[in-house]
């Protein structure tokens, strides 16, 4: 018989836990994006020109973080969350991020400690990569399990609300420091301030997450598992990873769900700011303001689209994204490349973000609804992290490489084809709102 785990918990308690979890997510993504935002200022301190070893370490760090640590974090944190609880994994995740940010903030430069400086920077970024790689699956699982059934799409959408808010906050800190400090001060020591802020914020998030309640889905599964094993006279359960491969359809569904969505997301968020400068011809300040304004509006779209999925179902909202992204990516990027004014570029980006919100607002809850409790965090986090590493993480590189070959429009079609592949998945999959395993396992 279905058991609606979250309904036994008072709404006020659920909201407090969801807010605590969401704030922690915001802090983690702020710390993640701050590295990119301030890399221009701290790179000379850690990777001086002319030192081959330091430059090789720089390349190794980019590789390790982008293509190794996020999937590794999705695996390790997913297993930890499914064995020891969502709350325990979320505490460990934010603690790793705090350690990484603090290490960057206090590490002396190459001039003071030599090659140890870039080594420590690599270590710090690896910690952050583990953290953010594990945060997605665990927080998606926590928010989905903690929300009540009627509003699960709405509450789960706050994962991307806080993700976008973290990006915006990093950009705000950058704009603020650029106004109050000179370039010389930013290069000398000012770049350490945002990392110190991130470490302090992570400690605050750690405190908030300590007061979170564990989800009833996990606690009931944990209490039932030993009794079931004794009753059935079975051997100890298989490892989490082996158990995950017993759900190949769900794993492949997560990959298909993520493929087009992550590529569209990184194209219109991370890459667009460079696109507006290199292709459209706007100044860096104009591109920053356009991206900032569009992201701020996109943040507000997430809960609206999440709430819509609670009324009409998950599948129609995903189909809206799939059809929209497949049909509009080439026209939108073509028009954006020729935008005559910042206002036009802003409007085009808003349209792109509106379509994209059909994926970003609900992809986490859809994935969580696919898996049983005992492997939910791992099932959401690992295939997602692998797909993001391959397609999302490489989006900017592919776009710039094609541009350097004089084939920039080929990138538009590449994104379109990936979106169309995801559309096929959305078309064939059941509506997880009606087949959710959060209520039935």
Per residue of the chain (441 residues), what is the pLDDT tens digit? 344 444 456 666 677 777 777 788 888 889 888 887 787 788 888 877 766 566 556 655 665 566 678 888 889 888 888 888 888 888 898 899 889 899 999 999 888 998 898 889 888 888 888 888 888 888 888 888 888 888 889 988 988 898 889 989 988 898 889 889 988 998 899 999 999 999 998 888 888 888 788 878 788 877 765 544 444 445 445 567 778 888 889 999 999 999 999 999 989 987 888 889 888 888 877 888 898 899 999 999 999 999 999 999 999 999 999 999 999 999 999 999 999 999 999 999 999 999 999 999 999 999 999 998 888 888 888 999 889 888 887 888 888 888 888 888 999 999 999 999 999 999 999 998 888 888 654
| Ordered domains of the chain (ranges, CATH) | 14-219 (1.20.1250.20), 245-431 (1.20.1250.20)
Return the biggest CA–CA distance within the chain.
72
Residue 84 CB: number of other CB atoms within 10 A? 13
CA 377 to chain centre: 14
pLDDT at res. 402: 86
Taking the C-alpha atoms of residue 75 and residue 379, their distance in angstroms, rounded to an integer, is 9
Phi, psi of 223 (to 5 degrees): -75, -30
Give the per-residue pLDDT at 56: 53
How much is the pTM?
A: 0.84
Q: Which two tokens stand for residue 148?
A: 């009540």
Question: In terms of Cα–Cα distance, which of 90, 70, 71 is closest to 80?
Answer: 90
pLDDT at residue 6, rounded to an integer: 45
Joined together, the tokens standing for residue 354 give: 């509106």
């Amino acid at each position: 018989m279905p058991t609606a785990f979250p309904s036994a918990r008072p709404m006020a308690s659920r909201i407090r836990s969801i807010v605590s979890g969401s704030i922690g997510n915001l802090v983690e993504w702020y710390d993640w994006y701050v590295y990119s935002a301030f890399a221009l200022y701290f790179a000379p301190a850690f990777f001086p020109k002319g030192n081959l070893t330091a430059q090789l370490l720089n390349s190794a760090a980019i590789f390790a973080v982008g293509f190794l640590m996020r999937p590794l974090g999705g695996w390790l944190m997913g297993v930890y969350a499914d064995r020891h609880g969502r709350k325990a994994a979320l505490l460990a995740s934010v603690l790793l991020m705090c350690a990484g940010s603090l290490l960057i903030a206090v590490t002396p430069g190459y001039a003071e400690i030599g090659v140890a400086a870039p080594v420590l920077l690599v270590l710090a970024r690896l910690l952050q990569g583990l953290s953010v790689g594990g945060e997605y699956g665990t927080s998606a699982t926590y928010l989905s399990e903690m929300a009540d059934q009627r509003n699960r799409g709405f509450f789960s959408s706050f994962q991307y609300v806080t993700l976008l808010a973290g990006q915006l906050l990093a950009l705000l800190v950058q704009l603020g420091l650029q106004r109050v400090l000179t370039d010389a001060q930013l290069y000398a020591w000012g770049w350490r301030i945002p990392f110190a802020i991130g470490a302090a914020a992570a400690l605050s998030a750690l405190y908030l997450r300590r007061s979170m309640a564990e989800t009833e889905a996990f606690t009931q599964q944990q209490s039932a598992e030993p009794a079931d094993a004794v009753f059935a006279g079975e051997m100890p359960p298989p490892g989490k990873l082996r158990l995950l491969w017993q759900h190949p359809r769900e794993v492949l569904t997560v990959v298909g769900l993520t493929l087009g969505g992550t590529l569209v997301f990184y194209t219109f968020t991370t890459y667009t700011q460079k696109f507006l400068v290199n292709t459209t011809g706007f100044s860096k300040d104009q591109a920053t303001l356009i991206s900032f304004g569009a992201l701020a509006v996109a943040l507000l779209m997430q809960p609206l689209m999440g709430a819509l999925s609670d009324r009409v179902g998950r599948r129609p909202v995903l189909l809206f994204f799939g059809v929209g992204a497949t049909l509009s990516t080439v026209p939108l990027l073509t028009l954006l490349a020729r935008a005559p004014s910042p206002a036009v570029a802003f409007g085009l980006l808003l349209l792109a973000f509106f379509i994209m919100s059909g994926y970003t607002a609900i992809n986490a809850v859809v994935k969580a609804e696919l898996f049983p409790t005992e492997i939910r965090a791992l099932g959401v986090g690992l295939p997602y992290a692998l797909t993001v590493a391959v397609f999302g993480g490489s989006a900017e590189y592919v776009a710039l490489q094609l541009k350097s070959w004089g084939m920039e429009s080929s990138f538009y079609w590449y994104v379109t084809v990936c979106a169309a592949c995801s559309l096929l998945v959305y078309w064939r999959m059941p509506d997880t709102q009606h087949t959710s395993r959060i209520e039935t396992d």
